[in-house]
Structure 1
């Protein structure tokens, strides 16, 4: 896939998945710490892993 097209797909994916994880975490734990933070961090890690995998980015660079 061409790099410019890939960026056009990955940026909206990152934004919408981040909002999705935030709403899901809020619905599941109702802002109870530390579970809310842990769920958000898990969602962020999943998003980063998928973006690096789909974009062919080295994991060391993403970390």
Structure 2
């Protein structure tokens, strides 16, 4: 189960800036009306690329 502040990876391209494999941190979890996550995605320098609301099928825990 993904928790708040977990580091996750995009499983597919989510925007023109957030591509498959991009890393981010879960900042909020939505449980209603459906499960979703607010994720801040960052680049290799640690700068924010985008903050997106994604579904569980869009991300996975980083290993």
TM-score, reference length from structure 2:
0.21
Q: Greater strand share, 1 or 2? A: 2
Q: Greater helix share, 1 or 2? A: 1
TM-score, reference length from structure 1:
0.21
